């Protein structure tokens, strides 16, 4: 079992992603985006964050249309596939979350009150929705609150139909996010991560690979959580989705 990490020119989170897999003892290989080698031997794929092709035209759209994506998409029915931040944008633009011939999910520019708000770099909180329906989320429960690093300018999920599973932005208490800043980008229905209907693909905009150790949480979050007795859950087990 080996997971393929697929960075593109401008990706910059492949090392953190590799470290997250290594922490769980999951073997991985960095796959060059331009490879013509057979990729069917990999047991899963992860697309790391960054700025593929400098986010030109629209974040992720150029990488999404490259030949390697069609080859991986042809395998996607049987393998776990994770896209983080720019990797999520690439999966969405390539149609990994869509069942038909049209795109029914998008990730648009962050906005608040009808205006673009640019790049958001902050901590946020997520809770799973129907976690049993996605291979990466099945070790979590709906009552979990997972602190996570948010770091993007285009993270606003728009979707048609109701996603079967995913993660939603919440408050530190686990209550639903009520607008900015808990929902940092104006995402429809507070979605921060969306699963495909088969449950083997997850596109997540915040960074779970940077949020696996509670020691990196800001002191302010830890103090408030302790004061109110909130139990915070690190993202470590998300990557166990590659092991099943």
Q: Which residues bind other proteins (CB under 8 A)?
A: 53-54, 56-58, 61-62, 65-67, 70, 93-95, 98, 101-106, 108-109, 111, 114-116, 158-160
Give min distance, CB of 64 to other proteins, in A.
9
Treating both helix axes as pointing N-terminal to C-terminal, what angle do 86-94 and 67-75 enclose, rounded to 10 degrees?
80
Q: In terms of CB distance, is 17 or 86 closer to other proteins?
A: 86
Q: In terms of CB distance, is 58 or 222 closer to other proteins?
A: 58
Give min distance, CB of 202 to other proteins, in A.
18
What is the distance between the alpha carbons of residues 80 and 65, in angstroms, rounded to a whole number?
A: 20
* 207: annotated active-site residue: yes
Closest of 40, 110, 33, 41 to residue 64, by C-alpha: 33
Instruction: Give backbone dihedrals phi and psi of 90, rounded to 5 degrees, phi first.
Output: -65, -45
Give min distance, CB of 26 to other proteins, in A.
29
What is the distance between the alpha carbons of residues 45 and 31, in angstroms, rounded to a whole number?
A: 9
Q: Which is the catalytic residue, given 13, 14, 85, 152?
A: 85
Are the C-beta atoms of 191 and 157 separated by less than 8 Å? yes
Q: Which residues contact 143 (CB under 8 A, 6 or more apart)?
A: 127, 174
Q: Which is the catalytic residue, given 13, 93, 159, 207?
A: 207
Q: In terms of CB distance, is 154 or 209 closer to other proteins?
A: 154
* 209: annotated active-site residue: yes
| Residue positions annotated with a catalytic role | 85, 207, 209
């Amino acid at each position: 079992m080996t997971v393929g990490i697929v960075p593109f020119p401008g990706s910059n989170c492949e090392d953190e992603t590799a470290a997250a897999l290594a922490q769980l003892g999951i073997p991985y290989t960095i796959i060059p985006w331009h490879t013509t080698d057979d990729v069917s031997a990999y047991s899963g794929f992860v697309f790391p964050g960054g700025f593929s092709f400098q986010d030109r035209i629209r974040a992720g759209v150029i990488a999404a249309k490259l030949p390697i994506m069609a080859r991986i998409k042809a395998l996607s029915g049987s393998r776990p596939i994770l896209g983080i931040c720019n990797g999520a944008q690439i999966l969405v633009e390539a149609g990994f979350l869509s069942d038909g011939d049209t795109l029914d999910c998008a990730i648009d520019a962050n906005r608040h009150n009808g205006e673009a708000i640019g790049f958001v770099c902050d901590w946020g909180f997520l809770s799973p929705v129907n976690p049993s329906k996605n291979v990466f989320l099945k070790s979590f429960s709906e009552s979990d609150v997972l602190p996570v690093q948010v770091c993007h300018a285009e993270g606003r999920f728009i979707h048609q139909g109701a996603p079967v599973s995913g993660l939603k932005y919440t408050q530190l208490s686990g209550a639903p996010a009520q607008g900015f800043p808990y929902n940092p980008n104006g995402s429809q229905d507070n979605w921060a991560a969306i699963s495909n209907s088969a449950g083997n693909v997850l596109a997540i905009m915040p960074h779970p690979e940077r949020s696996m150790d509670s020691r990196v949480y800001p002191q302010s979050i830890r103090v408030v959580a302790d004061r109110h007795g909130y139990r915070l859950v690190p993202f470590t087990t998300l990557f166990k989705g590659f092991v099943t």
